[in-house]
């Protein structure tokens, strides 16, 4: 059995304000690094065998901070990358909330495609594929997967048996971790959702 720690990247100056997406150069500020360090401290005694990360900068930075106490390098894993938000990338959340598509994303996200980008169902499929592939690579280990809020929510919804249309009910805070035990065969178990380190204000 593999234990997966699904970790959302620590906050950036854009978190909660803009849809940063896959834009380059959006990294952690001092406050974000403090959150990542608190998460790393909380997970310091966990016997991690590997740390994988989305290739997006804010995830790579978070993953390096988490991996450091374990003395290990971070492996980038492309399928853990952020949702492709298409032309919504970089826009303020305030402006997006006024669109018709925003309501559909809240009420029936499985049927909504981001303009020029992905369906949330497609992002969920690759998130689950990542979990399955990495669990197969580490059949008896505990590993960390540092990714993004919507990607993690999609994976959790899948293993909880929750339709994608209800995944907005899950809250995944920046710097939080969720735990899934994934056996080679048989029933997965979601052990924890949205754990945060002491002092994390998210």
pLDDT-based confidence at 111, cuts 50/70/90?
confident
pLDDT tens per residue, range 17-34:
999 999 999 999 999 999
**Rounded to an integer, what distance in angstroms lies between the CA atom of residue 75 and that of residue 147?**
12
pLDDT tens per residue, range 74-86:
999 999 999 999 9
Phi and psi of 191, rounded to 5°? Answer: -90, -35
**Whole-number Cα distances in Å, 157 to 125, 127, 134, 160, 162:** 11, 11, 18, 5, 5
Res 153 pLDDT > 90 = yes
pLDDT tens per residue, range 49-82:
999 999 999 999 999 999 999 999 999 999 999 9
| Answer CATH for 2-195 from 3.30.710.10, 3.40.190.10, 3.40.50.1400, 3.40.50.1240 | 3.40.50.1240
**Rounded to an integer, what distance in angstroms lies between the CA atom of residue 161 and that of residue 77?**
25
Burial class of 202 by CB neighbour count within 10 A (0 to 12, 13 to 18, 19+): middle
**Rounded to an integer, what distance in angstroms lies between the CA atom of residue 19 and that of residue 85?**
8
Structural element, H or E, at residue 67: helix 57-67
**Rounded to an integer, what distance in angstroms lies between the CA atom of residue 196 and that of residue 193?**
9
In this predicted structure, what is the pLDDT of residue 202? Answer: 65
Res 137 pLDDT > 70 = yes
In this predicted structure, what is the pLDDT of residue 1? Answer: 96
Return the SS3 of 142: strand
> Contact 66/39 with Cβ under 8 angstroms?
yes
Task: Please state, rounded to an integer, the average pLDDT across all residues of the chain.
Answer: 95
Domain boundaries, the chain: 2-195
In this predicted structure, what is the pLDDT of residue 179? Answer: 98
Tell me the range of 102-106, 127-131, 161-165 where mean pLDDT is highest.
127-131
């Amino acid at each position: 059995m593999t234990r997966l720690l699904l970790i959302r990247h620590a906050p950036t100056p854009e978190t909660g304000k803009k849809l940063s997406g896959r834009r380059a150069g959006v990294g952690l500020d001092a406050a974000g690094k403090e959150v990542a360090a608190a998460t790393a401290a909380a997970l310091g005694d966990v016997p991690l065998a590997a740390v994988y990360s989305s290739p997006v900068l804010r995830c790579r930075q978070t993953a390096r901070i988490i991996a450091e106490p374990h003395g290990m390098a971070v492996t980038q894993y492309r399928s853990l990358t952020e949702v492709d938000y298409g032309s919504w990338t970089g826009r303020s959340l305030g402006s997006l909330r006024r669109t018709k598509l925003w309501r559909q994303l809240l009420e029936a996200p499985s049927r909504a495609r981001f303009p020029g980008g992905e369906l949330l169902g497609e992002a969920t499929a690759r998130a689950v594929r990542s979990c399955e592939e990495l669990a197969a690579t580490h059949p008896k280990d505990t590993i960390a997967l540092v990714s993004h809020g919507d990607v993690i929510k999609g994976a959790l919804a899948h293993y909880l048996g929750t339709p994608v249309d209800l995944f907005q009910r899950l809250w995944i805070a920046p710097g939080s971790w969720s735990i899934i035990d994934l056996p080679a065969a048989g029933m997965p178990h979601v052990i924890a959702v949205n754990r945060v380190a002491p002092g994390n204000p998210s």
